[in-house]
Chain A
């Protein structure tokens, strides 16, 4: 369970949000809404511990995330604006490394299977610099297929994706929620999960 209480965050002199509180339970999904510059990305980055909040607390199963540190990170999967993939490496190499950083040992076979599910059949061994923007995003999204991270923090997961890939991401999220996972995300495109109540958090 993720519990955020009285969170406040500023960038420079500018106050982004304050007194923000919410609770995210297992199997729930929440969309963070707001205009450009309203602090959506900052909120997600605060949840990942990159930014320290000005005030307020973030609790994971009742314990402060700062205390849990690595134990909290083990439960977290973050997908940011950047794909965190290397142009020089192939999809398989990239995926194996990002899985490794998340603490998961992955062999070639598993990596190829994950990439194929993301619709990259035949491109698994190509250096990612020859792939299109959308295909690179798919390589990054393949991380969603690995590991048992309970909380997914997705910043614009649908950016640069085509219709097929958007559907795939929706399926993955639905599966994750069915496994009692949690998702918190931002998007500028419509994202619907069939049969799930979508909670919304508005930053203004």
Chain B
């Protein structure tokens, strides 16, 4: 089936399309979460070394992966918006940012919860946790910059440039934090390493897919409200059934 992508790059048409797509992502996300967590908590065996506490990885690992990928995707949309001046891409970047920040936060939170029984401390200055913290700062920077500029066009473009600069910097930051960690011989948390049970892998994979679907559904919902807000003076918004009601 040939889809005319340009048609859907207009906010007015995308608004309707996103509305139709959301349930197709939201429902499977909910179902997969339940399945994944069920397998993770009840089917997967207890870990020989870490006991029951390891089960937090079924949330922690997907959240970490998502937080990193979402930053790159956000920066990608931002760059598209900057280069081709497409409003929808900038809106998508703005819509993704809070979800990315949320996943970064969940990743830190669950990391801390895991650290307490494993290391006896809520926070360990481990390379991955530290990088995750910096990533959260980068999200905060993007969101605050966007929020403090009143003119939406300038906000989009300025935040986009920041996201692009950030994504160039991310590898350098990761490398430097790893470097710092080895130099100071800090502790390193290792979630994997021992061979994983098949059920563990399944649970992790299913929750990862669920997180992806959730992120897409939420981003689409958010982009719909952003479209409405930005286009509130246009005729097509005034003609919408939900606006009239």
A–B touch (CB < 8 A): the answer is yes
Which residues of A are at the interface with B, using a C-beta cutoff of 8 A? 11-13
**Cβ B233 vs Cβ A12 within 8 A:** no
Is B151 engaged at the interface, CB distance under 8 Å to the other chain? yes
Report the Cα distance A13→B233, complex, angstroms. Answer: 8
Closest to B234 in A: A13
The B59-74 residues at the A interface (CB cut-off 8 A) are none
Q: How many residues of B contact A (CB 8 A)?
A: 3
Chain B residues lying within 8 Å of A11, measured Cβ to Cβ, are 151
A11 to B154 CA separation, bound complex (whole angstroms): 11
Cα–Cα distance between A179 and B231 once the two chains are bound (Å): 49
- Give Cα distance in the complex from A11 to B233, angstroms: 14
Using a CB-CB cutoff of 8 Å, which residues 150-177 of chain B contact chain A? 151-152
Provide the bound-state CA to CA distance between A127 and B152, in Å: 40
Residues in B with CB closer than 8 Å to A13 are 233
**Once the chains are docked, how many angstroms separate the CA of A13 from the CA of B151?**
9
Q: Nearest A residue to B150 by beta-carbon distance? A: A12
* Bound: A12/B152 CA distance, A: 7
Q: Report how far A193 CA is from B39 CA in the complex, Å.
A: 86
Task: Give the complex CA separation of A13 and B232 in angstroms.
Answer: 9
Measured CA separation A12–B233 after assembly (Å): 11
Looking at the assembled complex, report how far the CB atom of B12 sits from the nearest CB atom of chain A, in whole angstroms.
16
A12: B residues at CB distance < 8 A: 151-152
- Chain B window 205-245, contacts with chain A (Cβ cutoff 8 Å), 1 for yes, 0 for no: 00000000000000000000000000001000000000000
Q: Tell me the complex Cα distance, A56–B233, Å.
A: 22
Distance between Cα atoms of A12 and B229 in the complex (Å): 13
Chain A residues whose CB sits within 8 angstroms of the CB of B233 once the complex forms: 13
In the complex, A110 Cα to B233 Cα: how many Å? 55
Q: How far, in whole Å, are A82 and B233 apart by their CA atoms in the complex? A: 33
Contact with A along B129-167 (1 / 0, CB 8 A): 000000000000000000000011000000000000000
Distance from A159 Cβ to chain B, minimum over Cβ atoms (Å): 26
A165 to chain B, nearest CB (A): 36
A selection of 4 A-B contacts at a CB cut-off of 8 Å is A11-B151, A12-B151, A12-B152, A13-B233
